[in-house]
Amino acid sequence: FYFIAPLCIAAIVLGIYIIRKSTRILIYDHLSEGSNKGVGYVYDILSTQYPSSKVLKDARLIPSSITDDNPAVKPSSDIIFVNKCGVLLITVITDKGEFDNPKTGEWRYRFVDSEGKVQIRKKINPFDSTIPQIRAVSDLLKSEGIYSKCIKRLVVYTQSKIRFTYNYSEIIHVDKLISTIDEMNSKNELTPSEARVAFAAVTKYSAGLSK
């Protein structure tokens, strides 16, 4: 009995893990089949892999009094993810085409329109536009006694027909999102308690700005 019982418990634990893993894969495959791969798509992937209490969508971080005077400042983060890796501010790109994407300064977006004509448009640089967001979250965390430099940015693109002039580690395809976060989580920037406090603080702050 003393030999069989641990094996049974181990088998049950393994079975639960396999079922959860298989369920997540099925849900991910189902999501990937959809045509609307926007912010909601990335949010659903994260919420499937991690508890929803760690993910926020369209979270406002900058007051309108600031964004009204400076349209280059992005008022909301497409997605905020809080875990051991810290606080991730995620910008989602859904366009197909080519991006001239310097780390600082304006981006240019080149694409072919529905009439087959090549178009070039200016794009706000997500690295520049999220600088005020980082400052806001940093001040917020400091007010909660969290001084770790744990705020990071990711740019996640969801289309396959896309090309960037410059490759940065912070720009990834959505297929690499979970593996990237898992790798970042291994560094343990926040304790579980700090992550809960940070998520609650950001949620409350964002809700206050959205009223």
The pLDDT tens digits of the residues spanning 112-134 come to 988 889 999 999 999 999 999 99
Mean pLDDT of the chain: 84
Neighbours of 93 (CB within 10 A): 22
pLDDT value at residue 25: 47
Q: What is the pLDDT of residue 106?
A: 92
Contacts (Cβ under 8 Å, ≥6 apart) of 91: 74, 77, 78, 126, 130, 153, 154, 155, 156
pLDDT confidence of residue 43: 92
What pLDDT is attached to residue 58? 94
* pLDDT beyond 90 at 55: yes
Q: How does residue 9 score in pLDDT terms, banded at 50, 70 and 90? A: low
Quick one: what percent of the chain has pLDDT higher than 90? Answer: 56
d(CA 172, CA 155): 6
Closest CA to 137 of 128, 127, 147: 147
Q: What is the pLDDT of residue 49?
A: 85
Contact 80, 87 (CB under 8 A): yes
pTM of the model: 0.82
Paired residues of 172 in beta bridges: 156
* Closest to 31 in 3D by CA, of 22, 41, 40, 23: 41
- pLDDT in the model for residue 27: 46
Q: List phi, psi (to 5°) of 111.
A: -150, 170
In DSSP terms, 98 is beta-bridged to 110, 163
Helices (H), 109-173: 126-129, 131-143
| Burial readout 157-192 (b: 16 or more C-beta within 10 A, e: otherwise) | bbeeebeeeeeeebbbebeebbebbeebeeeebbee
49 or 139, higher pLDDT:
139
Could you tell me the pLDDT band of residue 135, with boundaries at 50, 70 and 90?
Answer: very high
Beta-bridge partners for 51: none
Find all residues with CB under 8 Å of 17, minimum gap 6, and list them: none
Secondary element (H or E) of residue 110: strand 107-112
pLDDT-based confidence at 66, cuts 50/70/90?
confident
